[in-house]
């Protein structure tokens, strides 16, 4: 829902957007269909990948599942050839970003990576935010407390 809020004014005629969700996410596509039928009109723009880590999954067992997700993301990123990658919050985006950075390196393509931290992160970054802080081109937070703690962070107000 946060990503939908960020893209609320997006002109689908001007930009070709693709959405990537965890394969066990049973609600996101339904929410898109209910709230933004214009975005849901072309289901070929929705892609699922294996989740890096399920809620409650141990860190030790998340390494193989993250590798499986990364491999799935490699072919997806290569097929889509993104120019801009906007990701937010959940760890599902980590293998997508890793695949996109590898794509950028191997294909000699410029890619802009925008990470938008979850609105619920007021005082500290999420694990995903900590992982992507250094590699993102733009790092957006919703609260001034986070911008004060992380010099690279951009505080643009609450965007949702």
3-state secondary structure of 115: strand
Read off φ and ψ for residue 46, nearest 5 degrees.
-115, 130
Mean pLDDT throughout 91-103? Answer: 91
Residue 48 and residue 73: Cα distance in Å, rounded?
Answer: 9
DSSP secondary structure string for all residues of 51-112: -S--TT--HHHHHHHHHHHHHHHHHHHHHH--SEEEEESSTTHHHHHHHHHHHHHHHT---E
pLDDT for 89 equals 66
Q: What confidence tier does 84 reach under pLDDT thresholds 50, 70, 90?
A: very high
Mean pLDDT throughout 96-113? Answer: 92
pLDDT for 40 equals 84
The 10s digit of each residue's pLDDT in 17-67 is 889 988 888 888 898 889 888 888 888 999 999 887 766 667 677 788 888
CATH number of 2-8+16-155: 3.40.50
pLDDT for 82 equals 92
Domain residue ranges of the chain, discontinuous segments joined by +: 2-8+16-155
């Amino acid at each position: 829902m946060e990503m939908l809020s960020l893209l609320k004014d997006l002109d689908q005629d001007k930009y070709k957007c693709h959405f990537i969700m965890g394969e066990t996410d049973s609600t996101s596509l339904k929410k898109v269909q209910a709230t933004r039928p214009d975005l849901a009109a072309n289901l070929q723009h929705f892609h699922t990948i294996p989740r890096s880590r399920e809620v409650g999954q141990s860190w030790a067992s998340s390494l193989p599942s993250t590798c499986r997700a990364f491999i799935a993301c490699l072919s997806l990123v290569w097929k889509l050839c993104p120019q801009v990658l906007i990701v937010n919050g959940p760890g599902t985006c980590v293998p997508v970003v890793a695949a996109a950075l590898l794509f950028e390196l191997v294909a000699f393509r410029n890619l802009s990576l925008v990470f938008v931290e979850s609105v619920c992160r007021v005082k500290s970054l999420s694990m995903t935010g900590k992982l992507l802080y250094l590699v993102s081109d733009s790092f957006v937070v919703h609260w001034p407390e986070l911008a004060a703690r992380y010099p690279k962070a951009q505080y643009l107000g609450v965007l949702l």
